[in-house]
Structure 1
């Protein structure tokens, strides 16, 4: 095996259960490693952090002619990214003040409590299907105003979109991308239609807030509304499913740390941050340089894909002491679990709140629980890495 096959090996499903030895190999190979498909792979913390804040790095796939339609703001550069992200965040409330997400805390606790009902001694449950998935999906459906009975329809669209967004070096992605484009169009149309039903009506949800905006300068176009609503639904649950499932798996594998958290649940917020470093829900992000760029002595030509291995940066011993150890009390934990810079994960505040509520509710049950299968089956997606199922015996 050579260094130029690292991305292919990291994204190979055979290594999904434990890609961390490959990330260690990446960091040893150098700050920047050319891959067989012509892309570059970056795995060191400080180089990744600098690139996430570098205005010469683009996220817009149109810079390589990949798409012709306008992407969601997650895939746009400033100033258009800033404009749309600001408009999308307005229903959440003013920056740095308690907004719609904080106001959901009581509902999140209630939903969590309802989902805990089947957690009885002697039962076998799937943490993903029975808890980690329905919690954030129920929350984001309530935030947007989506009828809960329509969730299976949105899940199918969401799965197709996430598959299309994955990093797949050397593969023929035409069919996957076409399926993703069709899902984006259908899901966007559904959400816009739902929003139009609320036009001129009083309704306390985000779709209503978008279509009833009084200031013409702050209104989203139909296309922008479709892309933003789709992004909100996906960002509102995808990372959280992985965060909760990875968290339960980690704690069941680490009984000493689990006991520590059961004795001192006030450590939960800090433990969630450590989970975001140790087993992050997002493993990679792609960037495209808008000009020739030098990274640690390597010149990368304009338009060449650069894959930032966030999960590798989170385990970089040059930045974190004993990085392969899960430590819920870890200080100075500036991880890359949600990225960094202007494209910091849009759903991060909601994911943190939901993970704290979920793990707090699960802690009393995990002390006597055991994993039915370890490693569990993982999702196909290498970029958004987490168990597809997580069966546990209570």
Structure 2
């Protein structure tokens, strides 16, 4: 399951950045536009060009080290290069919240899918929220009880990895072990639909959510017995601050004006969802995890309901309820801090906890 290509980008995590990416423009060259600067980028096979006239070359979201900490690169792109062509991604890059939000919703952009988008909603049959809620609650409870007696546990391997697959298996009536085999065989979407089958994305989103909550003892205290509304706000905040999918690709239908210049029609565009979620022009103290912020927002899921959007929110809510119900003293292990990693998709790979404090 962990090696499944991301449906948003076609990229396999850990694979080289040139696999299954959009082609260069027909001329093999592209203009990189920033305020007051335009330079020509050669074919990426020739290597990075020298800075013309001493001007700074924009950083790439695929630069070495970005997998561990992409935020310095994202910050520079937002501030200095809001529109730039990246020869590694072979796409124009947008990093500001307003531009990324536009590209995800404006009909002048095409080629892409987000759970909850209008086209997605039209493709789904109505799901019974009460039935899905019961399935998620039961699955989360069983998984949490299995961890309660341990001295230490890894919530990514022992909980987040299993809850999304378990809820889909129960919802479609497939035995759990068979569902895991189908997921590894990339056949989950045949049973659960394109959105419901995005199990790996929900797994990463859940890992980031639990990491954000458990990293702050004050958040643990506030959310341990919190009503569903506060948990939902914390879930939205985690999707903003640490989206599971960092980069998605779209294509322009026509020329589109954005920050820093004009995107040519028919061009591939890489949207830095991770950078947009931390744009200080949109969010105050954007690096801070704050479920009570009065300027919430997230770009991972669209605004309309679909099974994947509903399932993801229910999994976050009942994960907390089940974990704190089975382990009231649950906390991170001594000295452990969540460490997100990844370029295209991103989340903590381990969450080592002490179930009994």
If the length of structure 2 is used for normalisation, what is the TM-score?
0.72
Q: Is the 8 A contact 1:3 1:35 kept in 2?
A: no
- Quote the Cα distance in structure 2 between the aligned partners of 1:120 and 1:251: 19
Partner of 1:46, secondary structure, is: helix
2:245 matched to 1:282? Answer: yes
- Quote the Cα distance in structure 1 between the aligned partners of 2:95 and 2:87: 16
C-alpha change, 1:326 and 1:377, in structure 2 (3 Å) is closer
2:159 matched to 1:131? Answer: yes
Deviations 1:100-122 (A, max 9, x none): 23322122111111111123355
Q: Is the 8 A contact 2:81 2:260 kept in 1?
A: no
Deviates more, 1:370-379 or 1:124-133: 370-379
What displacement does 1:346 show? 6.3
2:327 matched to 1:383? Answer: no
Deviates more, 1:350-359 or 1:123-132: 123-132
What displacement does 1:383 show? 2.6
Partner of 1:317, secondary structure, is: coil
- Quote the Cα distance in structure 2 between the aligned partners of 1:383 and 1:377: 16
2:124 matched to 1:89? Answer: yes
What displacement does 1:373 show? 7.7
The Cα RMSD (Å) is 3.1
Partner of 2:248, secondary structure, is: strand
2:328 matched to 1:335? Answer: no
Aligned residues: 296
Q: Is the 8 A contact 1:34 1:41 kept in 2?
A: yes
2:218 matched to 1:260? Answer: no
What displacement does 1:157 show? 2.7
C-alpha change, 1:357 and 1:27, in structure 2 (3 Å) is same
- Quote the Cα distance in structure 2 between the aligned partners of 1:260 and 1:102: 26
What displacement does 1:124 show? 1.6
- From the two aligned structures, give the one with the greater strand fraction: 2
What displacement does 1:345 show? 7.8
C-alpha change, 1:374 and 1:29, in structure 2 (3 Å) is farther
Q: Is the 8 A contact 1:53 1:341 kept in 2?
A: no
Which structure 2 residues correspond to residues 331-370 of structure 1 after superposition, within 5 A?
331-338=294-301, 340=302, 347-363=308-324, 365=327, 367-370=329-332
Find the counterpart in structure 2 of residue 147 from structure 1.
175
Deviations 1:352-386 (A, max 9, x none): 11111102222363755224785667675x33212
Partner of 1:392, secondary structure, is: strand
Partner of 1:23, secondary structure, is: helix
Partner of 2:68, secondary structure, is: coil
Find the counterpart in structure 2 of residue 114 from structure 1.
142
C-alpha change, 1:232 and 1:44, in structure 2 (3 Å) is closer
2:206 matched to 1:244? Answer: yes
- From the two aligned structures, give the one with the greater helix fraction: 1
- Quote the Cα distance in structure 1 between the aligned partners of 2:292 and 2:210: 17
What displacement does 1:85 show? 5.0
2:157 matched to 1:157? Answer: no
Find the counterpart in structure 1 of residue 281 from structure 2.
318
Moved over 4 A (4+): 372-380
Q: Is the 8 A contact 1:276 1:335 kept in 2?
A: yes
- Quote the Cα distance in structure 2 between the aligned partners of 1:357 and 1:240: 14
C-alpha change, 1:136 and 1:17, in structure 2 (3 Å) is same
Which structure 2 residues correspond to residues 8-27 of structure 1 after superposition, within 5 A?
8-9=62-63, 12=64, 14-27=65-78
Find the counterpart in structure 2 of residue 71 from structure 1.
none
Find the counterpart in structure 2 of residue 165 from structure 1.
none
